[in-house]
Structure 1
């Protein structure tokens, strides 16, 4: 089984249709005892939530979101958890709206960590002012 999703931030690798999630959307995942949930926002989405379960490398969840135009939408998604060659997590998703017509597939990937978080050097700038 791929590693835990808890605390990971993922983003779509491509834009969907207007009014849906896109490359500017960020998903912050949580995972405990086979339960998964996430908050997301960005792009056309003001706020969104997903909640569901994980069995092995399979996620099954429902999502609901609020868009900037004030409309809401919801749906169902099944995802497969995978790992990229560099160790980041990738979710391959098959989704269907429940509040409107439409379905599709998408891919979201864990964002790369900044060098300091990944164990790289930390650069600190110190400014001193003369008395």
Structure 2
């Protein structure tokens, strides 16, 4: 099983649609006994939270976020945890909104030292 997500900061490798999570968004992950949670902010996201579970290299979580325009949205995500050749963690995600129409895929990766607060 890939290493723990606890204490890791991850960021998307590409921007999503305008007003959503993007390359300036940072996710601060926590993990304990098969439970995962994270806080995220940056770009158009004022504050976001996710909570869920981990079994091996699979994450299953729900997320909710407040955007800079004052609107909120929520959804469900399934992620595969992999390790990059340099040892950093990558999450390959399939997500779907529950509060609005839409679904897609995205990739977030552990930030190298010094990139956590860009």
- The ranges of structure 1 where at least 4 consecutive aligned residues each deviate by more than 6 angstroms after the TM superposition are none
Q: Which residue of 1 aligns with 2:74?
A: 74
TM-fit CA distance, 1:109: 0.1
CA RMSD of superposed structures (Å)? 0.4
1:28 matched residue in structure 2: 28
2:13 aligned with 1:48:
no
Which residue does the alignment assign to 1:106?
A: 106
Structure number with greater Rg is 1
Q: CA deviation at 1:95?
A: 0.1
Q: CA deviation at 1:113?
A: 1.4
Asked which structure has the greater RCO (Cα within 8 Å, sep 6+), the reply is 2
Unmatched runs of 5 consecutive residues or more in structure 2: none
Structure 1 gaps of 5+ residues are 115-131
Partner of 2:7: 7
More strand by share: 2
